[in-house]
């Protein structure tokens, strides 16, 4: 074993963890030449609906794109689990210089455990093979993945099943219920692959049909600078044919039982306002931050796509000291790629805003970027004319803007459960509402 092998295998293990978070069998791979990483890859079988999208095959394609060549005799491939016969054959055909794997696979390993593809005397190329590098860690990741998978398939008390990773099969069952209840699917969010271990989906099934659902997202809020772990309930729905049978009540009861003591919040529609107080939720009114200002349009601002805005959102460096979410990125992306996709503006190379004009009022839903900015800069870069009033969808204290609080003309149906320790006046971020 080379001295550098463990370090590169750890990179492959990171890819394996990424695969597990995406609902894929956790195998990761890294290609290295002359001590430099050329490419990384992970299993994408479920994502691509392809039986051949193993980490090794994905990595070979990535290396070909980088090097422009199919011959890889100077490259070392680090793979967290012994390649299967298909992948071992592909590595032989690619003239791989060296194969380093972690966990051996006595059932399907193609590098000597079950079959010896790489060492078979009939093949034209024999890579150097090294096994067992960080094998225990690779085995731990795989065991945890399959343990969680088995747990997700079990029928929980009250016939409730829990899913805490994204899979194509689950999405096919989830989307019809969301379409029936909310008139939309969550496909735009699923394509982002941001469903991580903080999101859990609880549901009741009749065979393959999802009858009722409630999801939770675990995040950390910031209340007057104090971190507050909390959960957000979302996607609460029951198919029309089974409403009134207590299915949602059973699911929410289970969620709150498992997260007892953790503050919880949700936004409800008008038809279920009497439902949530049964679980200890109370209605709360947040306030609307408003600035009375006239704006002159900036011709330099341009509309950008969610893909263009996402890097700036991921690098957000400013948060409200009054109330904010320190790690709400998956929920923010849900809105950015959803109803906000046509309302994103680039204010500078490092700052973007989500803004909608309604007559002389500008609804400024978010401002984010990779460097700090202030209102004196933001106001001169917004591309809207005839604006006399700005309604913020967040507490804009970090922008150093002169604003005042107003009561909202209509309630947002915000429900809280537990001790949040909120200030008297606060604004729940618009892009955190679901």
Sequence-separated contacts (24+) of 33-41 with Cβ below 8 Å: 33/74, 33/75, 33/76, 34/74, 35/4, 37/8, 37/11, 38/62, 38/63, 38/66, 38/67, 38/75, 39/63, 39/65, 39/66, 40/11, 40/12, 40/15, 41/15
The reported pLDDT for the residue numbered 21 is 83
CA R_g for the chain: 26
pLDDT confidence of 154, banded at 50, 70, 90?
low
Is residue 341 over pLDDT 70?
yes
The structural architecture, per CATH, of the domain 160-166+196-283 is: 3-Layer(aba) Sandwich (3.40)
Q: Which fold has domain 4-152?
A: Cytidine Deaminase; domain 2 (3.40.140)
The reported pLDDT for the residue numbered 100 is 98
Is residue 376 over pLDDT 70?
yes
Q: Model confidence over 245-295: pLDDT tens digits?
A: 999 999 999 999 999 999 999 999 888 889 999 999 999 999 999 999 999
**Rounded Cα–Cα distance for residues 128 and 106 (Å):** 19
DSSP code, position 150: H
The reported pLDDT for the residue numbered 293 is 92
DSSP code, position 298: -
Is residue 223 over pLDDT 60?
yes
Place of tokens 């689990």: 81
Q: Model confidence over 66-118: pLDDT tens digits?
A: 999 999 999 999 999 999 999 999 999 999 999 999 999 999 999 999 999 99
Poorest-pLDDT segment among 47-51, 307-311, 411-415: 47-51
Q: Model confidence over 187-219: pLDDT tens digits?
A: 999 999 888 878 999 999 988 899 999 999 999
Poorest-pLDDT segment among 4-18, 147-161, 209-223, 319-333: 147-161
Pick the CATH number of 287-413+421-432 from 3.30.70, 2.60.120, 3.40.630, 1.10.890: 3.40.630
Three-class DSSP labels, 172-223: HHHHHHHHHHHCCCCHHHHCCCCCCCCEEEEEEEECCEEEEEEEEEEEEEEE
User: What are the domain boundaries of the chain?
Assistant: 4-152, 160-166+196-283, 287-413+421-432
Locate 262 and state its tokens: 């953790």
| 4-152 and 287-413+421-432 agree in CATH topology | no
The reported pLDDT for the residue numbered 222 is 93
The reported pLDDT for the residue numbered 153 is 63
pTM (two decimals): 0.68
Burial class (CB within 10 angstroms; exposed 0-12, middle 13-18, buried 19+) of 218: middle
- Residues annotated catalytic, as ranges: 56
Q: With contact defined as beta carbons under 8 Å apart, do 28 and 16 qualify?
A: yes
Is residue 152 over pLDDT 90?
no
Binding-site residue numbers for Zn(2+) are 54, 84, 87
30 DSSP β-pair partners? 40, 78
Place of tokens 């059973």: 250
Q: Work out the average pLDDT over 424-428.
A: 94
Is residue 15 over pLDDT 80?
yes
SS3 319: coil
Please give the mean pLDDT across all residues of the chain.
93
Q: Work out the average pLDDT over 387-398.
A: 96
- Percent of the chain at pLDDT > 90 equals 83
């Amino acid at each position: 074993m080379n001295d550098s092998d463990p370090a590169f295998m750890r990179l492959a293990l990171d890819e394996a963890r990424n695969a597990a978070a995406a609902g894929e069998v956790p195998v990761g791979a890294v290609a290295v030449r002359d001590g430099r990483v050329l490419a990384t890859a992970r299993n994408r079988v479920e994502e691509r609906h392809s039986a051949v999208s193993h980490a090794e095959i994905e990595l070979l394609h990535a290396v070909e794109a980088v090097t422009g060549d199919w011959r890889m005799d100077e490259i070392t491939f680090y793979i967290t689990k012994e390649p299967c016969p298909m992948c071992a054959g592909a590595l032989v055909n690619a003239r791989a210089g060296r194969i380093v794997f972690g966990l051996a696979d006595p059932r399907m390993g193609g590098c000597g455990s079950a079959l010896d593809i790489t060492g078979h005397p009939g093949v034209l190329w024999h890579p150097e093979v090294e096994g067992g590098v960080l094998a225990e860690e690779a085995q731990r990741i795989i065991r945890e993945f399959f343990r969680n998978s088995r747990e997700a398939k079990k029928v929980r008390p009250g016939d409730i099943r829990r899913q805490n990773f994204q899979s194509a099969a689950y999405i096919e069952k989830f989307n019809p219920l969301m379409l029936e209840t909310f008139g939309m699917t969550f496909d735009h969010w699923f394509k982002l692959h941001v469903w991580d271990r903080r999101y859990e989906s609880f549901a009741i099934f009749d065979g393959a049909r999802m009858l009722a659902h409630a999801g939770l997202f675990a995040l950390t809020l910031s209340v007057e600078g104090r971190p507050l772990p909390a959960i957000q309930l979302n996607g609460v729905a029951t198919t029309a044919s089974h409403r009134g049978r207590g299915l949602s009540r059973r699911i929410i009861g289970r969620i709150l039982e498992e997260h007892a003591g953790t503050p919880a919040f949700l936004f409800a529609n008008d038809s279920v306002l009497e439902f949530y107080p049964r679980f200890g939720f109370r209605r709360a009114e947040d306030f609307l931050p408003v600035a009375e200002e006239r704006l002159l349009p900036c011709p330099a601002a341009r509309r950008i796509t969610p893909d263009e805005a996402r890097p700036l959102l991921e690098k957000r460096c400013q948060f409200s000291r009054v109330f904010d979410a320190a790690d709400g990125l998956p929920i923010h992306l849900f809105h950015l790629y959803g109803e906000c996709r046509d309302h994103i503006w680039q204010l500078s190379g490092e700052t973007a805003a989500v803004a909608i004009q309604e007559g002389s009022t500008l609804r400024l839903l978010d401002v984010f970027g990779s460097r700090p900015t202030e209102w004196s800069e933001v106001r001169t870069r917004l591309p809207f004319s005839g604006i006399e009033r700005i309604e913020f969808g967040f507490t804009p204290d970090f922008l150093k803007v002169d604003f005042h609080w107003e009561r909202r003309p209509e309630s947002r149906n915000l429900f809280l459960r537990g001790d949040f320790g909120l200030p008297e006046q606060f604004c729940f971020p618009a892009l955190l509402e679901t």
